[in-house]
Amino acid sequence: MKISDYTYALPEERIAIEPSAIRGTSKLLVLQKNTGAIQDKLYSDITEFLQPGDVLVLNNTKVIKARLKVTKQNGAERELVILEKHGRTDDWHTHKVMYRRKMSAGDTLHVGDVTIVVNEILGDGLAIVTSNTDLLTVAEQYGSVPLPPYIHRETKPSDTDRYQTVWAKEQGSVAAPTASLNMTESILKALRAKGVIIAYATLHVGLGTFMPIRTDNVEDHTMHKEYFEVPATTIAAIQLAKKNGSRVIALGTTITRTLEYAHAAILHTKPKDISGEADIFMYPGYEFKVIDCLLTNFHAPHSTVLMLAAAFAGWDNLKNAYEHALNSDYQFLSYGDSMLIT
Residue 84: the pLDDT is: 67
CA distances from 240 to 32, 80, 243, 246 (A): 24, 44, 5, 8
Contact predicate 160/195, CB 8 Å: no
Percent of the chain with pLDDT over 70: 96
In the 8-state DSSP scheme, what is residue 181?
A: T
Which residues have C-beta within 8 Å of that of residue 241, sequence separation ≥ 6? 53, 54, 55, 197, 247, 248
CB-side exposure of 251: number of CA atoms within 13 Å?
A: 30
- Give the integer Cα–Cα distance in Å for 152 and 93: 31
Q: Does pLDDT of 262 surpass 60? A: yes
Residue 209: the pLDDT is: 62
Q: How many CB atoms lie within 10 A of CB 70?
A: 24
Angle at 319 between CA 316 and CA 324, to 5 degrees: 125
- Which of residues 57 and 149 earns the better pLDDT score? 57
Residue 134: the pLDDT is: 86
Q: Does pLDDT of 93 surpass 90? A: no
Q: Does pLDDT of 126 surpass 70? A: yes
Residue 83: which pLDDT band, with cuts at 50, 70 and 90? confident
Question: In the predicted model, what is the mean pLDDT of residues 287-309?
Answer: 96
Strands 197-203 and 170-173 turn out to be unpaired
Residue 95: the pLDDT is: 81
Q: Does pLDDT of 176 surpass 60? A: yes
Instruction: Report pTM.
Output: 0.91
Question: In the predicted model, what is the mean pLDDT of residues 39-57?
Answer: 98
Domains of the chain: 3-63+160-341 (3.40.1780.10), 67-143 (2.40.10.240)
Angle at 338 between CA 250 and CA 149, to 5 degrees: 100
- Which of residues 274 and 103 earns the better pLDDT score? 274
Identity (one letter) of the amino acid at 191? Answer: L
